[in-house]
């Protein structure tokens, strides 16, 4: 057997490859796919952005996901301990454990604003169920959304509801119930997206939406767009945060990491593209702007629900499923910190989850208020690059476009250059070594060089 058979402490494992895929897909598929992907695609002009994004998923995202899952399975513990154990075993500098720390910090920062947007989705379950969309004009739908944003009390309340949902699961320890729910609700989300794409097909503006998404015009994307596509590839696949290291630690031996990473990435990408195919035809059918920003989903899909038969029901179901998808992601954002507090500080899980959730809620207030009372606050306004970024935009930018790619770059350098090849070879050894060689080429040359090049151009 491989050297890792000697690992003294390994915790419980997923019941099967499917269970891991469900958990990893639950983490990956979330607001990033349905809320963020369409709106940043709209902001960066469509096709070219989508193409760069897909390339980033294929040559950077998948190899790094494989590296994280392999590290996790090799180490068999929480991200920080996994890193420490592997470093000790391979005789490398302890400083590389910083990857684990930065990841935990990034996940926590993301949670603070992710929960605010999750709160919007919860609020929309109520609005859809109450028939608020039925027969509304696009102005009416837009007014509904700006009404929500303009009310700090309502935003903080729903942000709190969403955070409480997250804490409730993490406090008990991620359980089999969630696994079962994911296996039903994820396919349901998929079906409802297909229905919406069908509706978009009937809207008469499908080809315009299709062209926007898939016909690249590279004059529109710019250096900033390339960085955003790269950052989003990390964000959407839950990379650069130790999440996949943590989940990989539960993966049974004998399961192909390559196939698993590819399946998760393909599912994640499919959901994002379906969301785009549902949304952009509606944008054109109703004379809206693709670059409407973070409100895009909330200003478009309700129009469809307002017009289709049984739209109230469909709308409520859609937003329930969106909340669920966001929930399985936010759980994975809170989990690493709670795991660390439990393992290293001896804090009871329930207390750790509640305390971390409260702190994240409080920090999240700043993001919620940046949509109304603090709309003009520019925390880093003294730097030209951040002069137009409010609190929410800034946190989103700093995490997705800076921290995640940096941690990803460090992970690639670490896995490709620092670690002895034998450490991960056993984890990625399927296909008579061809897979390992291809992976090693990508992780040594393609991923780090691409990330570094994008950073470099953005500085220049
Ligand atoms: N991947 C999730 C999404 O697309 C967000 C997320 C990022 C979740 C990082 C966990 C870790 O919505
Ligand atoms: Na995602």
The verdict on ipTM greater than 0.90 is yes
Determine the pLDDT at residue 6. Answer: 39
Query: Is it the case that residue 1 has pLDDT exceeding 60?
Result: no
**What is the average pLDDT across 63-75?**
95
Angle subtended at Cα 285 by Cα 284 and Cα 291, rounded to the nearest 5 degrees: 30
Instruction: Measure the CA–CA gap between 373 and 381, rounded to whole angstroms.
Output: 17
Categorize the per-residue pLDDT at 429 as very low, low, confident or very high, splitting at 50, 70 and 90: confident
Categorize the per-residue pLDDT at 11 as very low, low, confident or very high, splitting at 50, 70 and 90: low
Query: Is it the case that residue 57 has pLDDT exceeding 80?
Result: yes
Cα 255 from chain centre: 24
Question: Tell me: the pLDDT tens digits for 93-148?
Answer: 999 999 888 988 999 999 999 999 999 999 999 999 999 999 999 999 999 999 99
332 in ligand 1 pocket by Cβ < 6 Å?
yes
Question: What is the distance in A from the centroid of ligand 1 to the CA of 165?
Answer: 16
Which atom of ligand 1 lies at the shortest distance from residue 33's CA?
Answer: 4
**What is the average pLDDT across 353-377?**
98
Contact 284, 205 (CB under 8 A): yes
Determine the pLDDT at residue 457. Answer: 81
Determine the pLDDT at residue 370. Answer: 98
Which has the closest alpha carbon to 401: 175, 171, 231? Answer: 231
Residue 173 CB-density burial (10 A; 0-12 exposed, 13-18 middle, 19+ buried): middle
Instruction: Measure the CA–CA gap between 452 and 40, rounded to whole angstroms.
Output: 22
Determine the pLDDT at residue 173. Answer: 80
Determine the pLDDT at residue 14. Answer: 55
Determine the pLDDT at residue 395. Answer: 96
Which atom of ligand 1 lies at the shortest distance from residue 326's CA?
Answer: 12
30 in ligand 1 pocket by Cβ < 6 Å?
yes
Query: Is it the case that residue 61 has pLDDT exceeding 80?
Result: yes
Query: Is it the case that residue 290 has pLDDT exceeding 50?
Result: yes
Lowest mean pLDDT among 125-129, 206-210, 248-252, 280-284: 248-252
Spell 404-420 as b/e; 16+ CB within 10 A means b: bbbbbbbbbbbbbeebe
246 in ligand 1 pocket by Cβ < 6 Å?
no
% of the chain at pLDDT higher than 90:
77
For domain 3-459, is the CATH number 1.10.4160?
yes
Cα 18 from chain centre: 20
Question: What is the distance in A from the centroid of ligand 1 to the CA of 413?
Answer: 23
Residue reference for tokens 């075993």: 89
> What are the C-alpha distances in Å from 165 to residues 63, 115, 221, 331, 460?
32, 10, 37, 9, 43
Pocket test for ligand 1, best of 236, 264, 327, 331 (most atoms within 8 A of CB): 236
Categorize the per-residue pLDDT at 419 as very low, low, confident or very high, splitting at 50, 70 and 90: very high
Half-sphere exposure of 430 (CA within 13 A, CB side): 10
Determine the pLDDT at residue 182. Answer: 84
Query: Is it the case that residue 10 has pLDDT exceeding 60?
Result: no
Query: Is it the case that residue 5 has pLDDT exceeding 70?
Result: no
Spell 119-134 as b/e; 16+ CB within 10 A means b: bbbbbbbebbeeebbe
Pocket test for ligand 1, best of 275, 324, 329, 405 (most atoms within 8 A of CB): 329
Q: Which ligand is nearest to the CA of 36?
A: 1
Domain definitions of the chain by residue range: 3-459
> What are the C-alpha distances in Å from 132 to residues 34, 143, 227, 340?
21, 11, 38, 43
Question: What is the distance in A from the centroid of ligand 2 to the CA of 270?
Answer: 10
Determine the pLDDT at residue 460. Answer: 63
Categorize the per-residue pLDDT at 3 as very low, low, confident or very high, splitting at 50, 70 and 90: very low
Determine the pLDDT at residue 20. Answer: 84
Question: What is the distance in A from the centroid of ligand 2 to the CA of 26?
Answer: 9
- What residues have CB less than 8 Å from 130, skipping those under 6 apart? none
Question: What is the distance in A from the centroid of ligand 2 to the CA of 268?
Answer: 6
Question: What is the distance in A from the centroid of ligand 1 to the CA of 246?
Answer: 14
Instruction: Measure the CA–CA gap between 373 and 197, rounded to whole angstroms.
Output: 36
Contact 35, 297 (CB under 8 A): yes
Which atom of ligand 1 lies at the shortest distance from residue 31's CA?
Answer: 12
Show the tokens assigned to 222.
């710019």
Show the tokens assigned to 32.
């990033």
Q: Which ligand is nearest to the CA of 35?
A: 1
The mean pLDDT of the chain is 92
Question: What is the distance in A from the centroid of ligand 2 to the CA of 321?
Answer: 14
Lowest mean pLDDT among 32-36, 272-276, 306-310: 306-310
Pocket test for ligand 1, best of 24, 27, 33 (most atoms within 8 A of CB): 27
Query: Is it the case that residue 229 has pLDDT exceeding 90?
Result: yes
Query: Is it the case that residue 12 has pLDDT exceeding 60?
Result: no
pTM for the whole thing?
A: 0.94
Categorize the per-residue pLDDT at 250 as very low, low, confident or very high, splitting at 50, 70 and 90: confident
**What is the average pLDDT across 386-412?**
94
Residue nearest to atom 9 of ligand 1 (CA): 238
CA 10, 12, 18, 23 torsion-angle sign? negative
**What is the average pLDDT across 335-358?**
92
Categorize the per-residue pLDDT at 78 as very low, low, confident or very high, splitting at 50, 70 and 90: confident
Show the tokens assigned to 284.
């054109």
CA gyration radius for the chain?
Answer: 21
328 in ligand 1 pocket by Cβ < 6 Å?
no
Determine the pLDDT at residue 7. Answer: 41
Question: What is the distance in A from the centroid of ligand 1 to the CA of 261?
Answer: 15
């Amino acid at each position: 057997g491989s050297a890792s058979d000697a690992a003294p402490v390994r915790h419980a494992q997923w019941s099967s490859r499917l269970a891991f895929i469900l958990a990893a897909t639950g983490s990956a598929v979330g607001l990033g796919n349905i809320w963020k992907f369409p709106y940043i695609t709209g902001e960066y002009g469509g096709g070219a952005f989508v193409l760069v994004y897909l390339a980033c998923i294929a040559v950077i995202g998948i190899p790094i996901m494989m590296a994280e899952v392999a590290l996790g399975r090799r180490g068999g513990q929480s991200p920080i301990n996994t890193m420490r154990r592997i470093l000790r075993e391979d005789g490398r500098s302890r400083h590389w454990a910083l990857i684990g720390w930065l990841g935990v910090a990034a996940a926590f920062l993301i949670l603070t604003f992710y929960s605010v947007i999750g709160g919007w989705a919860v609020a929309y379950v109520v609005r859809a169920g109450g028939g608020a969309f039925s027969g509304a004009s696009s102005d009416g739908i837009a007014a509904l959304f700006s009404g929500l944003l303009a009310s700090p009390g309502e935003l903080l309340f729903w942000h709190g509801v969403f955070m409480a949902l997250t804490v409730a699961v993490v406090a008990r320890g991620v359980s089999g119930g969630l696994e079962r729910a994911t296996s039903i609700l994820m396919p349901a989300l998929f079906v409802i997206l297909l229905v919406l794409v069908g509706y978009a097909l009937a809207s008469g503006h499908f080809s315009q939406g299709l062209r926007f998404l898939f016909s690249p015009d590279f004059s529109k994307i710019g250096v900033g767009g390339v960085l955003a596509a790269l950052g989003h590839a990390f964000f959407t696949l839950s990379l650069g945060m130790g999440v996949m290291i943590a989940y990989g630690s539960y993966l049974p031996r004998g399961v192909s990491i390559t196939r698993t990473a590819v399946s998760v990435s393909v599912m994640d990408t499919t959901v994002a593209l379906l969301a785009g195919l549902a949304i952009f035809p509606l944008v054109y059918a109703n004379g809206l702007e693709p670059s409407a920003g973070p409100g895009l989903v909330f200003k478009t899909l309700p129009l469809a629900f307002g017009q289709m038969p049984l739209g109230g029901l469909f709308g409520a179901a859609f937003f329930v499923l969106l909340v669920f998808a966001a929930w399985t992601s936010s759980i994975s954002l809170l989990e690493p910190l709670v795991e660390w507090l439990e393992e290293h500080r001896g804090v009871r899980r329930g207390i750790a989850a509640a305390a971390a959730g409260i702190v994240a809620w409080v920090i999240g207030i700043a993001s919620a208020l940046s949509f109304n009372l603090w709309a003009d606050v520019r925390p880093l306004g003294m730097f030209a690059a951040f002069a137009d970024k409010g609190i929410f935009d800034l946190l989103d930018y700093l995490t997705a476009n800076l921290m995640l790619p940096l941690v990803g770059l460090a992970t690639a350098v670490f896995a490709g250059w620092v670690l002895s090849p034998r450490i991960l070879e056993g984890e990625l050894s399927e296909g008579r070594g061809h897979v390992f060689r291809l992976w090693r080429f990508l992780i040594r040359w393609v991923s780090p060089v691409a990330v570094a090049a994008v950073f470099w151009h953005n500085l220049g």
